[in-house]
Structures are given as structure tokens and as C-alpha cells.
Amino acid sequence: MEGTEQAEKKEKKKVILSGIQPTGVFTLGNYIGAVKNWGKMQDEYDCAYFIADLHSLTIRQDPAALRKQSLDAFALLLACGIDPEKSLVFIQSHVPAHSELSWVLSCYTQFGELSRMTQFKDKSARHADNVNAGLFTYPALMAADILLYQADMVPVGHDQKQHLEFTRDVATRFNNLYGSTFKIPEAYIPKAGARVMSLQEPTKKMSKSDENPNAFITILDEPNVIINKFKRAVTDSEKEVCFREGKDGINNLMTIYSVITGRTLEQIEQEFEGKGYGDFKLAVGEAVSEELREVRENFKRLSADKAYLEQVYQAGAQKAAAISARTLAKVKKKVGLLVK
């Protein structure tokens, strides 16, 4: 009886799904805005996390590098606190249902909808020599990622809201045509630290593609590297550590420090009252370095154990395939395909 009650309680948990591309090491922005929260959500929600390797193919990749980056990204998820005993963790390309549902949803997507996607416009401009069909239909695959697992919520940054709205629109259209099939997902946006800015251009989002290596922190940076990057962070000509309009650099550092330490902005202002920016930058750097220490140590241990990683991602793929197959079979039946 107790086991049944526990199972029913688990079934009532909301489902949260999120994926990240294997395009290199996560930045501090990725960590604060997403990954740091993923581990904490495992007890409250049924969580599914995946490495979105299929999405990365819209840009030409070096095959050997992509394989290594995918495995490293998978190890990083585990190093950041994702527990495969609590969460579904897998690699996207290991679950064929993603590609299958993507095709079906593409057939229920209007050309004009895809043409309006800002990410397609941005990437087309940056990669003018490779404006491929996959780049154009990318949102349909993202919608399939989400809808296969009947996700209630998807952690998204402000720049990803458009893709979630697209997913909601396609799911609603399908449901209207064929009856209740997909759950309509909502956005999950952390209230604090959801957007970390560049250390060199604090009006821009922190990005690992930034040409200036001092503009971003990766979660595997060594302590001395982290501290030196924060020492070089752009601030302003004032000396007061306070959060207000026009102080983009300090505002960004205060946000980072607040998320890492749990202190409020007011507490931070009091802590550094009468102190200069040098003291503040050093404190932020030391706090971030210590926060990431366990991640660095976990990653080093996990990445050295290829057999364990393979065991975990194969088990994750089997579980993901079983869950996604239920949704895919329902979709196939409703659109008129013969289900074997």
C-alpha cells in the first residue's frame, strides 16, 4: 500500500525538461541561469535533461570533436549535480523518436512561422555560407524534444521564449485538430540570476563564443583564471558598490555574487560599504571559484571513467525511448499512420 501511495505521489509531480547543446564547456551564465537550478529541482519535479547533439548539426562540426564534446557535456551534467537515479538523463540522438516527431510536427508548421524565428535570422547572418534546411526547421525538432515527454515546464532564458511559444502554438494546433494529445508547456524562468552578462561588455549576455576570453567564465576554469578575469571586469568610474541604473558592470557582478552567496543586493551593498571595486571583484572571483570547485573535481573524476558514462547514457536512452514511444505512437495513430 505504501509503495502504491509513493508511486501515485511521484506521478503527480510536474515534468520539467531541458536540453543543452554540446558546443563546448558551459559558461558561468549557463550554470547560474540553468544548470545550477537543475540539480535542485530533482526532488520537486520529474526532471528530464538531455544533450542536444542533433541541434548542433545545423552548423558544420568536426566529427571527432563533436563526439568528445557530447561526452564531456554529459559528464558535466552529472558533475553539476544531475543524479541519474533521480532524473532522466540522455543524449538526444540516441532516441529516434525525436527525429520522427520532428518530421510530423514540421508538417503541421507553417513556413511563415519558421521565417519569423529570430534565431534563424541571426544564425543565417553569421553562417551565410551554410543556411541549411535544418537551421530553418530547428524549432520543430525543439518542439518534438519537449512534447515527447509531455513536459509541464521548460527552463528558458529570455532569448528562448520565442521557441517555447512556437512549441505551444504547434501543440495547440495539433490538439485542436485531433483532440488532446500534447500537454501545453509553460516557461520556467528563475527569478534571480537568469541572465549573466559579459564581464567586458556588461550590456551583452555572457557567451562562450565571445572573441574576448576575458568576457566569460567557464565552469571548468581554474581558480586563478577565474579571479583574474573578475579583476579585469569592466565596471565604471565610481567607487560605490550599489545596484542602480547606469552601473551595468557592477550590477552584473552584484547579481552573480548574490546568486552564488545567497546574499541580497542590500546585504552586498552593506558588506562592501566604504570598500573599493578591487575588494569587491576579488570577493566575487573567490566566491565563484569556490562554488565551481566541486564541479571541477567531479568532472575530472567522471570524464576519466568512460565505462560509467556509457552505462549511464545507455540506461538513459532506454528509459527515454520507452517514455517517448508512448507519445509518438499516439501521434502516429491520430494522423493516420499504421502503428506496428
CA nearest 331: which of 173, 206, 198, 200? 173
Q: What is the pLDDT of residues 158-192, one digit of tens each?
A: 667 888 999 999 999 999 999 999 999 999 876 64
Alpha-carbon gap, residue 139 to 108, rounded angstroms:
12
Average pLDDT score, the chain: 90
End-to-end CA distance of the chain: 36
What Cα–Cα distance (Å) separates residue 215 from each residue in 15, 88, 288, 306? 35, 33, 15, 32
- Catalytic residues, which ones? 123, 205, 208
| Long-range contacts (CB closer than 8 Å, 24 or more residues apart) made by 208-213 | 208/23, 208/24, 208/25, 208/26, 208/27
Please report, as a single letter, which amino acid is at residue 195.
R
- Provide the pLDDT for residue 130: 77
Q: In the structure, what pLDDT confidence band is assigned to residue 194 with cuts at 50, 70 and 90?
A: low
pLDDT in tens, 232-289: 999 999 889 999 999 999 999 999 999 999 999 999 999 999 899 999 999 999 999 9
In order of start, what are the domains of the chain with their CATH numbers?
A: 2-193+305-335 (3.40.50.620), 213-300 (1.10.240.10)
- Sheet of 153-155, strand order: 88-91, 46-51, 15-20, 153-155, 186-188
**106's grid cell:** 514540421
Q: pLDDT of 99-127, one tens digit each? A: 999 999 999 998 888 888 877 767 766 77
How far is it, in rounded angstroms, from Cα 89 to Cα 10?
18
pLDDT value of position 37 = 75
Examine the pLDDT at 299 and tell me if it is beyond 80.
Answer: yes
The total of other beta-carbon atoms located within 10 Å of residue 288's CB is 27
Model pTM? 0.83
pLDDT above 60: residue 24: yes
- For the stretch 273-282, contacts whose Cβ atoms lie closer than 8 Å and that sit 24 or more positions apart, written own/partner, are 273/241, 275/241, 276/239, 277/235, 277/239, 277/241, 277/250, 278/231, 280/241, 280/250, 280/253, 281/230, 281/231, 281/233, 281/235, 281/253, 282/227, 282/230, 282/231
Q: In this model, does residue 11 exceed pLDDT 90?
A: no
Q: pLDDT by residue (tens digit) across 196-234?
A: 999 999 999 998 888 999 999 999 999 999 999 999 999
